[in-house]
């Protein structure tokens, strides 16, 4: 019967895997890492809080897509918490941690990754439901969206807790990994392969949806300019999601590949030399997402800017809007405000099919 090592501190496991944690994180290097990490974590907290607040404040964002986008921002906010906990429990401190505290450290990171990944998968389903009907937003009710968000976090918490629940190497230290010295190598293979497969599936799904939208847009090119603009709005939302997904895949894939190599017991791959850089790349993903939202969505940026500046821009915008014909406003509401200027220039009006589509959106 194998002996279990639940009462050991992490130095026992790090010494077994010959992982040097002290020399890499001392003196100026440790101070630099803490300062750098603190700055980005503060940015993650502030920027993602602004995204969530913008969705809550702006009624034009009260749709399933934006609720899920806000939940993705919440996952990034949670990732910031995980990185803060990691910063103060890494380097020389790593060897002094208890097994349970180390499980908590890694579990927070795994939970944040899973929450983001599953949320992106749910957004793919929501986009598929709306795009196939050539609508801006799906017909998901608030109750269903709430259920989906709760399910996302339930799955994320469960996946983050799997090693703690028993899939570890505490009772069989011969199968311990190098990067995660109390994780079983078989778990690292499972974890990395599962995430990489989901990455691939989502990329394929989004590419197919995007090609479908482009094809439909070309077919409808003979319609009025107003109809074309209205149908281009789903494309703009798709570009936002695809940019977020692309950044997520680029930032997380190297780290998952390193975990896979470690799980396969690749001793000559030099994974110890690149682990911290790939972890930093994963941190940057949570920094990039709010920037992508604000850059790709003018309405999101305008709402965030008003909240940051705390100015009277709301009132001035209302005065400007009162001078815009009501027919143009009708259409701008339908397309999330992206084409107000086009409507004024082209002299388009909200009527016939647009009114019908607005009611269905």
- The predicted pLDDT at position 359 comes to 40
- The residues with which 168 forms a beta bridge, in sequence order, are 183
Distance CA 47, CA 77 (A): 9
Residue 227 is given by DSSP the state H
228-268 residue pLDDT tens:
445 555 667 777 778 888 888 888 888 889 889 888 888 77
- The predicted pLDDT at position 160 comes to 93
Helix (H, G, I), strand (E, B) or coil at 9: strand
Structure-derived torsion over alpha carbons of residues 349, 126, 133, 296, reported in degrees to the nearest 10 = 40
Whether the per-residue pLDDT at 84 is higher than 60: the answer is yes
Q: Which of 37-41, 70-74, 230-234 has the highest mean pLDDT?
A: 70-74
What is the band of 357 on the pLDDT scale with cuts at 50, 70, 90?
Answer: very low
- The residues with which 176 forms a beta bridge, in sequence order, are 184
Lowest mean per-residue pLDDT among 92-96, 226-230, 294-298: 226-230
168: burial class by Cβ within 10 Å (0-12, 13-18, 19+)? buried
CATH of 10-221+233-309, one of 1.20.1070.10, 1.10.357.10, 3.40.50.150, 3.30.565.10: 1.20.1070.10
- The predicted pLDDT at position 81 comes to 93
* Residue with more model confidence, 165 or 222: 165
Residue 1: Cβ within 10 Å count: 4
User: What mean pLDDT do residues 107-128 have?
Assistant: 89
- The predicted pLDDT at position 233 comes to 58
| C-alpha distances in Å from residue 4, one per residue of 1, 164, 173, 271, 288 | 9, 14, 8, 27, 42
Distance CA 302, CA 294 (A): 8
User: What mean pLDDT do residues 36-58 have?
Assistant: 89
174-222 residue pLDDT tens:
888 888 889 999 999 999 999 999 988 888 888 888 777 777 767 666 5
- CB distance 227 to 128 below 8 Å: no
- The predicted pLDDT at position 346 comes to 37
Whether the per-residue pLDDT at 148 is higher than 80: the answer is yes
Question: In terms of Cα–Cα distance, which of 87, 84, 88, 103 is closest to 13?
Answer: 103
Delimit the domains of the chain by residue range: 10-221+233-309
User: What mean pLDDT do residues 119-123 have?
Assistant: 89
What is the band of 130 on the pLDDT scale with cuts at 50, 70, 90?
Answer: confident
- The predicted pLDDT at position 101 comes to 93
Per DSSP, the residues of 142-190 read HHHHHHHHHHHHHHHHHHHHHHHHT-BSTT-GGGB-SSSTTBBHHHHHH
Whether the per-residue pLDDT at 323 is higher than 50: the answer is no
Distance CA 141, CA 164 (A): 36
Question: In terms of Cα–Cα distance, which of 340, 328, 350, 349 is closest to 233?
Answer: 340
Helix (H, G, I), strand (E, B) or coil at 21: coil
| C-alpha distances in Å from residue 197, one per residue of 103, 117, 188, 190 | 25, 11, 14, 11
């Amino acid at each position: 019967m194998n002996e279990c090592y639940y009462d050991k501190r992490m130095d026992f496991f790090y010494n077994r895997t010959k992982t040097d944690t002290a020399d890499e994180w001392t003196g100026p290097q440790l101070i630099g890492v803490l300062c750098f990490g603190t700055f980005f974590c503060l940015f993650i907290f502030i920027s993602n809080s602004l995204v969530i607040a913008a969705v809550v404040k702006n009624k034009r964002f009260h749709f399933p897509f934006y609720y899920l986008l806000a939940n993705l921002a919440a996952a990034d906010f949670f990732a910031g918490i995980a990185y803060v906990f990691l910063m103060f429990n890494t380097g020389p401190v790593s060897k002094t941690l208890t097994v349970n505290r180390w499980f908590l450290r890694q579990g927070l990171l795994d939970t944040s990754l899973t929450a983001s990944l599953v949320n992106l998968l749910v957004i793919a389903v929501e986009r598929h439901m709306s795009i196939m009907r050539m609508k801006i937003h799906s017909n998901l009710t608030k109750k269903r969206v709430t259920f989906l968000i709760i399910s996302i976090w339930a799955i994320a918490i469960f996946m983050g807790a799997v090693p703690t629940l028993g899939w570890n190497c505490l009772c069989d230290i011969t199968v311990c990994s190098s990067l995660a010295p109390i994780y079983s190598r078989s778990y690292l293979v499972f974890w990395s392969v599962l995430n990489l497969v989901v990455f691939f599936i989502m990329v394929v799904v989004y590419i197919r949806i995007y090609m479908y939208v482009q094809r439909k847009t070309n077919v409808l090119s003979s319609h009025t300019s107003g109809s074309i603009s209205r149908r281009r709005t789903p494309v703009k939302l798709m570009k936002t999601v695809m940019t977020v997904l692309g950044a997520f895949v680029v930032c997380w894939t190297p780290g998952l590949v390193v975990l896979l190599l470690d799980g396969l017991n690749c001793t000559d791959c030099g994974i110890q030399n690149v682990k911290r850089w790939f972890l930093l790349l994963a941190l940057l993903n949570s920094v990039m997402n709010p920037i992508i939202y604000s850059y790709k969505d003018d309405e999101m940026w305008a709402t965030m800017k008003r909240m940051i500046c705390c100015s009277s821009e709301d009132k001035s915008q209302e005065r400007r809007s009162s001078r815009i014909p009501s027919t143009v406003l009708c259409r701008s509401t339908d397309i999330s405000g992206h084409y107000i200027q086009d409507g004024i220039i082209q002299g388009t009006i909200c009527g016939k099919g647009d009114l019908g589509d607005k009611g269905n959106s």
